[in-house]
């Protein structure tokens, strides 16, 4: 394979990594506009010069959906931005979303050859650039669907796994219907991820592109209640079902004071702001209450989203309380960094033990105890141990718990024969097939809480498996439904 | 989009709506509710399904104007459309033949009680119903309840209709009257349900109440509707909305339901000003 870039590898290595243009931290911490503007054409053209165009591009193996990264970068080198985004779209139908929310630093960029001695190529920013370029210049052309198939497939949930599965099946010619319980499309991309990380016009655009493939999306339809899975098969005539209902049920710490006014799950807090636009009350009817001081409990991306949202709503003090140290935080480094820039106060090695209230049953503070790190636990992270006598109260008026979610149980409870783990996740095999014939599952419903891109990989894997399943049914062959072997888990 | 097929006022602040929602109509069971949004900028509110007509694909809701959204909803008429209606949500009411039961409705809660009362009657129960409200004007569905009950009693706080007093006064008499009442279903304002729970606990009569907690999604996703039942956290939207009245922490829920009172006031004032302007523009 010839190199597109005439520059010698040694010269390429000398070039510095390009960075996104970002809103000033002080200004952005008071608005809901996107934090990062990404890279512009000039920066993107400089950045692609750095790619070594490796003979064996290892970056591709770091991508959960195996995007041909080298090829798309070579398209950019040739200034064919639409060619680049179409190359990405062969593997990933939602590039504008992944270019924004994917943890590239622990995937493709982590194993980029250039990154061994220098900084890796900014693959994620390039992905976002070509997706945004195509949108801004209105250059999207839906892929040609070569054949049409009779079978109807139901997708339950319009989050990243469901939308990806829907797109892949539609491209294969199936009649696909997506059922969404809420009034808007996107699942966690809509209710969970804030607008300052994923603007709603981007999400709306990606959803429109799914529809452009002929996919039907029915909102306000809670499968399990509005119709059961069995009814989808028997009465609606679907031949296969993909479950991508996510992990939407919040968990609470179980400490005293959680029923006080002013205590939210991160899900509720973010849903009010993101889905219902409570930040624009009273122009929008949904209210939200937040005090001058807000405490968010947790160290993951959801906690970062909640605490940065609190700051934007107007909290003067926005604390993030986490029981381990910064190093153990599961959140993306970029999110932690952005939060620090925006003036979020990190209260580390600290564990809440009680929420205290004023006479009106409103939160007035959170009692915490200091922690120190002991021996590693089963997750390999050092286990936090309380320091005796270290209890103290942080005065806050709002407490938001972001300590994790679990799958919503409605479908599992209303569908016979669906194996469910102790953690409430649906058990799947290596091709995302569940214990019931014709039913596949993926994303957080099967994983219990992972990333957008892993959910998308599951959706893609399931689409191939559904295709094979329906082909085998159609040809009257005895279909081999593999036994569920183990629960896929992702830390 | 969900068109309003029929709308009528049952009282100046109470409206009955028949809405086209075929999927929901097919699956509705007593005790189910919907989450609706009137318009694009609207909030999601839960409303109990009073009835449904699967053949015509319609559902029936009865709405009391209390907050901004319900006031706005009451300005809608046949031909208007609602942006979103999702359901049927919640666990259906467990219906069984207890022998004799009492069904107690307070205010607009009577609308929620109606489908449950009908199901209990159909299950073979002898049904004693009590319908109460602050005054005569707020007594609703008296005729409907009369038709499906073996006996119907009416109480008003001010004595403008029926017996003067609270539903609990009447309920106490029924329980003590040797009618063999084995179960009580009570739906109404929280203080009323709390009073019923306190009363029936003394007699050891099993009692179910329907909890109107604040909800956003109504599908178990936000946890805003969490209630404490027998010391355990439950979500009213998926674990309920009905619970064993003797295990409910009513005081906690009463406090939680006050969370947004100041913001609701802002919403209502703004809405009423807009309505005045609208009237002026029309006249």
Query: Looking at CA atoms only, how far is residue B230 from chain A in angstroms?
Result: 14
Query: In terms of domains, do B206 and B105 share one?
Result: yes
pLDDT category at A376 given cuts 50, 70, 90 is: confident
Nearest CA to A76 among A109, A107, A43, A103? A43
- Average the pLDDT over B233-260 and give the result: 95
From chain A, pick out residues whose CB is under 8 angstroms from the CB of B23: 221, 226-227
Q: Is residue B253 part of a domain?
A: no
Token match 């000003």: residue? B273
Distance in angstroms (rounded) separating the CA atoms of residues B275 and B90:
34
Helix (H) or strand (E) holding A200: helix A200-211
Query: For the domain that residue B68 is a member of, what is the CATH number?
Result: 2.40.30.10
The reply to whether B279 touches chain A by the CB within 8 Å rule is no
Phi and psi at B228, nearest 5°, equal: -105, 120
The residue of chain B nearest to residue A248, with distances taken between CA atoms, is B221
Q: How do beta strands B58-64 and B51-53 pair?
A: antiparallel
pLDDT of residue A151: 93
pLDDT in tens, B168-204: 999 999 999 989 999 999 999 999 999 999 999 999 9
Apex A265 CA angle, B211 and A455, nearest 5: 115
Same domain, B120 and B81: no
What CATH number does residue B199 fall under? 3.40.50.80
Residues B22, B85 within the same domain: yes
Contacts 24+ apart (CB under 8 A), B140-147: B140/B10, B140/B11, B140/B14, B140/B62, B140/B108, B140/B110, B140/B111, B141/B10, B141/B62, B141/B105, B141/B110, B141/B111, B141/B114, B144/B114, B145/B103, B145/B105, B145/B110, B145/B113, B145/B114, B145/B117
Contact check, Cβ <8 Å, A191/B42: no
**Beta pairing class for B181-187 and B100-106:** parallel
Residues B79 and B109 both lie in one domain: no
Cis bond upstream, residue A212 (ω within 30): no
Domain around B180 = 100-210
Which of B180, B210, B240 terminates a domain? The answer is B210
* Short-list A142, A7, A40, A54, CA closest to A69: A54
Which of A285, A107, A305 shows the shortest CA–CA distance to A194? A305
Q: A225 and B27 in contact by Cβ < 8 A?
A: yes
What mean pLDDT do residues B241-267 have? 95
pLDDT of residue A478: 42
Distance from the Cα of B203 to chain A's closest Cα (Å) equals 30
Q: Tell me what the mean pLDDT of segment A10-30 comes to.
A: 93
B65 and B106 share one domain: no
CA nearest neighbour of A106 among A281, A298, A301:
A301
In a domain, B37, yes or no: yes
Report H helices in A92-122.
95-101
Mean pLDDT over the full length of chain B: 95
* B226 inside domain: no
Cα gap B194→A418, rounded to integer Å = 40
Per-residue pLDDT at A144: 86
Residue A486 has pLDDT above 70, yes or no: no
Domain contains B219:
no
* Residue B39 falls inside a structural domain: yes
* DSSP one-letter string for chain B: -EEEEEEEEEETTEEEEEEE-HHHHHH--TT-EEEEESSTTPPPEEEE--EEETTTTEEEEEEE--SHHHHHHHT--TT-EESEEEEEESPPPP----SEEEEEEETTHHHHHHHHHHHHHHTT-EEEEEEEESSGGG---HHHHHHH-SEEEEEETTSSSSEES-HHHHHHHHHHTT--EEEEEEES-HHHHHHHHHHHHHHT-EEEEE-----SSSSSSS-TTEEEETTEEEEHHHH-SEEEGGGB-HHHHHHHTTTTHHHHHHHHHHHHHHHHHHHHHH-
Q: Which residues of A touch B (CB under 8 A)?
A: 181-183, 191, 219-222, 225-227, 248-250, 252, 254, 258-259, 261-262, 264-265, 267-268, 271-272, 276-277, 281-287, 289, 361, 408-410
pTM of the full structure: 0.93
Report how many domains make up chain B. 2
- Candidate from A181, A271, A276 with C-beta closest to B86: A181
> Using one digit for the tens of pLDDT, what is the confidence trace for B72-111?
999 999 999 999 999 999 999 999 999 999 999 999 999 9
Q: Residues B33, B69: one domain?
A: yes
The pLDDT score that the predictor gives to residue A383 is 87
Both B80 and B116 in a single domain?
no
Residues of A in contact with B270 (CB under 8 A): 282
Residue A129: pLDDT band with limits 50, 70, 90: very high
Would B29 be classed as within a structural domain?
A: yes
Give the pLDDT score at A1. Answer: 54
Same domain, B199 and B109: yes
Question: B124 and B199 in one domain?
Answer: yes
**Is there a contact between A22 and A37 (Cβ–Cβ < 8 Å)?**
yes
**Residue B85 shares a structural domain with residue B104:** no
Q: Is the pLDDT of residue A31 over 80?
A: yes
Given a cut of 60, is residue A488 above it in pLDDT? Answer: no
Mean pLDDT of chain A: 92
**Interchain contact B241–A (C-beta under 8 A):** no
Peptide bond into A282 cis (omega under 30): yes
- pLDDT at position A360 is 86
Interatomic CA distance for residues A262 and B255, integer angstroms:
11
User: Average pLDDT of A464-474?
Assistant: 92
| Cross-chain residue pair B216–A252, CB shorter than 8 Å | no
Give B224's pLDDT tier (boundaries 50, 70, 90). Answer: very high
B174 and B128 in contact (C-beta within 8 Å)?
yes
Residue where one domain finishes, among candidates B182, B210, B238 = B210
Tell me how far apart the terminal alpha carbons of chain B are, to the nearest angstrom.
Answer: 30
Distance from the Cα of B112 to chain A's closest Cα (Å) equals 19
Q: How far apart are CA A417 and CA A395, in angstroms?
A: 49
- The tens digit of pLDDT for each residue in B127-156 reads 999 999 999 988 989 999 999 999 999 999
Q: Read off the pLDDT of residues A227-239 as tens digits, 9 standing for 90 and up.
A: 999 999 999 999 9
Q: Say yes or no: B67 and B121 in one domain.
A: no
Q: B275 lies in a domain?
A: no
In a domain, B75, yes or no: yes
- Residue A475's pLDDT is what? 64
Last residue of a domain, one of B150, B183, B210: B210
B177 to chain A, any CB pair closer than 8 A? The answer is: no
Backbone torsions φ then ψ of A44, nearest 5 degrees: -65, -40
Which of the residue ranges A90-94, A222-226, A391-395 would you say has the lowest mean pLDDT? A90-94
Residue B50 makes CB contacts below 8 A (sequence gap 6+) with B16, B60, B61, B62, B111, B112, B114, B115
| Same domain assignment for residues B64 and B123 | no
Chain B residues within an 8 Å CB radius of A410: 219-220, 238
């Amino acid at each position: 394979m010839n190199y597109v870039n005439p520059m010698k590898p040694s010269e390429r290595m000398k070039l510095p990594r390009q960075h996104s243009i970002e809103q000033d931290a002080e200004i952005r911490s008071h608005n809901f506009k996107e934090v990062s503007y990404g890279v512009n054409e000039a920066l993107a053209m400089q950045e692609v010069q750095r790619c070594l165009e490796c003979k064996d591009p290892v970056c591709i193996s770091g991508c959960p959906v195996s995007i041909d990264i080298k090829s798309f970068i070579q398209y950019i080198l040739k200034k064919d931005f639409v060619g680049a985004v179409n190359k990405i779209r062969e593997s990933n139908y939602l590039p504008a979303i992944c270019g924004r929310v994917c943890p590239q630093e622990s995937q493709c960029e982590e194993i980029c050859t250039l990154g061994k001695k220098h900084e890796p190529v900014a693959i994620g920013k390039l992905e976002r650039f070509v997706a945004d370029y195509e949108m801004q210049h209105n250059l999207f052309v839906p892929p040609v669907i070569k054949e049409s198939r009779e079978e109807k497939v139901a997708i339950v949930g319009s989050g990243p796994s469901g939308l990806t599965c829907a797109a892949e099946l539609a491209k294969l010619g199936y009649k696909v219907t997506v059922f969404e319980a809420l009034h808007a499309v996107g699942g966690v991309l809509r209710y969970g991820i804030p607008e300052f990380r994923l603007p709603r016009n981007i999400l709306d655009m990606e959803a429109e592109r799914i529809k452009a493939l002929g996919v039907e999306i029915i909102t306000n339809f809670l499968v399990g209640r509005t119709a059961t899975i069995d009814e989808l098969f028997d009465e609606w005539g679907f031949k296969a079902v993909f479950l991508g209902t996510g992990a939407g049920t919040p968990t609470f710490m179980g400490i005293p004071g959680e029923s006080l006014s002013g205590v939210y799950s991160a899900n509720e807090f973010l849903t009010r702001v993101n889905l219902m636009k409570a930040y624009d009350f009273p122009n929008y009817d949904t209210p939200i209450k937040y005090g001058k001081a807000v405490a968010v409990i947790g160290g993951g991306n959801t906690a970062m989203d909640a605490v940065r949202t609190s700051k934007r709503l107007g909290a003067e003090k926005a604390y993030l309380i986490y029981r381990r140290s910064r190093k153990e935080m599961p959140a993306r480094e970029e999110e932690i960094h952005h939060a620090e820039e925006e003036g979020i106060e990190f209260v580390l090695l600290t564990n809440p033990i009680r929420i205290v209230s004023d006479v009106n049953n409103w939160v007035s503070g959170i009692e915490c105890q200091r922690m120190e790190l002991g021996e590693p636990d089963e997750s390999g992270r050092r286990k936090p141990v309380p320091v005796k006598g270290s209890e103290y109260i942080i005065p806050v008026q709002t407490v938001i718990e972001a300590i994790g979610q679990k799958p919503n149980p409605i479908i599992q409870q209303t569908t016979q024969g669906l194996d469910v783990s102790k953690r409430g996740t649906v058990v799947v095999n290596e091709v995302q097939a569940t214990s019931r014939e014709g039913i596949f599952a993926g994303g957080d419903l099967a994983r219990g809480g992972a990333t957008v891109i892993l959910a998308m990989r599951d959706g893609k894997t399931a689409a191939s498996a559904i295709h094979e399943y329906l082909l085998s049914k159609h040809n009257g062959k005895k279909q081999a439904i593999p036994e569920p072997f183990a629960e896929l888990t992702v830390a | 989009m969900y068109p309003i097929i029929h709308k009528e006022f049952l009282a100046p602040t109470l409206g009955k709506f028949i809405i086209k929602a075929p999927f929901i109509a097919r699956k509705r069971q007593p005790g189910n509710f919907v989450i609706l949004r009137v318009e694009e900028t609207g909030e999601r509110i839960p409303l109990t399904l009073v009835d449904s007509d699967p053949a015509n694909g319609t559902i029936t809701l009865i709405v009391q104007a209390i907050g901004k959204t319900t006031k706005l909803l009451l300005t809608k008429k046949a031909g208007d459309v609602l942006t979103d209606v999702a359901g049927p949500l919640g666990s259906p009411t467990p219906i069984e033949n207890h022998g004799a039961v009492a069904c107690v409705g307070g205010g607009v809660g009577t609308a929620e009680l109606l489908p449950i009362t009908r199901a209990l009657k159909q299950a073979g129960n002898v049904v004693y119903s009590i319908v109460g409200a602050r005054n005569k004007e707020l007594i609703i569905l008296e005729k409907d309840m009369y038709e499906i009950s073996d006996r119907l009693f009416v109480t008003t706080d001010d004595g403008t209709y029926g017996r003067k007093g609270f539903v609990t006064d009447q309920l106490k008499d029924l329980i003590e009257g040797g009618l063999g009442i084995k179960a009580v279903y009570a739906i109404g304002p929280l203080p009323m349900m709390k009073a019923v729970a306190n009363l029936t606990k003394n007699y050891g009569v099993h009692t179910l109440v329907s909890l109107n907690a604040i909800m956003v999604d109504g599908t178990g996703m936000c946890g805003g509707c969490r209630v404490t039942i027998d010391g355990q956290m439950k979500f009213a939207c998926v674990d309920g909305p009905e619970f064993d009245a003797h295990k409910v922490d009513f005081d906690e829920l009463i406090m939680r339901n006050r969370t947004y009172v100041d913001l609701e006031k802002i919403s209502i004032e703004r809405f009423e000003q807009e309505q005045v302007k609208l009237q002026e523009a029309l006249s």
